[in-house]
Amino acid sequence: DIGNSTTQYTDFTELDNFRITSIATQELTADYIRQHFSETECIVSSVVPEKEALLARLTSSRFVTHQSKLSITINIDSPTDLGADRIVNAEAAFHAYKCPCLIVDSGTALTFCFIDESGVYHGGAIFPGLKIASQALNDYTAQIPLIYVEPMTNLFGKTTEKAVQAGLFHGFKHLINGMIGQYKEQYPDIKVIGTGTGLVEFQNDINYDVFDENLIFKGLKYISQNNSVSKKKFKDK
């Protein structure tokens, strides 16, 4: 799973144990790939084309796209624009629950994905993630440092750092719960699945039904079992 900030991988022969390795995506270099994946067939969810191309040239890799054989149907205006991570999460959620699903995934971006009771993916919403929001305050102000947001109960802070933490933590909490609430009003039977490292800080504050940190790897396994994931063609540079 190649994300904008972090790359994670696991061995499907040990899938039940979910021994996941995480590295910064910038560390996914040619040398790293040769060392760890040169004799491995990889099933890949990626939102970073540069790393996809590198992996494709150096390994036997197959990449999830909207054209992969899926149990869900994608119903959006431009399926080619749909991130592989959102496709894989949607496949995993519907495969597991067979009901309307809302997937809340928080990483570099905060995304909401909606699948109806028939397994039709209708799109969702995308917000800047918590880290991006904190980084923006640091980049576009003269005196606000880069803040790592931690859970807090106070609604106000007596220092700049605590004020940023209060704003971001409670703001994102209400943003996420507000979106979940609107979905549940319209779709009372919806199953809300949380995933992604960015939700760790909110474990006790978000109104999801289940948190599944391994959702994307379950989806990759389901898709790979169809034996239909295509190899992408990349231009050599």
Q: Which residues are tagged catalytic? A: 85
Q: In what order do the strands lie in the sheet with 101-106?
A: 73-74, 120-128, 109-115, 101-106, 191-195, 210-211
Q: What is the 3-state secondary structure (H, E, C) of 128-179?
A: ECHHHHHHHHHHHCCCCCCCCCCCCCCCCCCCHHHHHHHHHHHHHHHHHHHH
Q: Which residues contact 51 (CB under 8 A, 6 or more apart)?
A: 2, 7, 25, 28
Cβ atoms of 196 and 107 within 8 Å: the answer is: yes
Pairing of strands 73-74, 120-128: parallel
Cβ atoms of 13 and 193 within 8 Å: the answer is: no
Region class of 128: left (phi > 0), else alpha (psi between -120 and 50), else beta: beta
- The Cα–Cα gap between 35 and 58 comes to 11
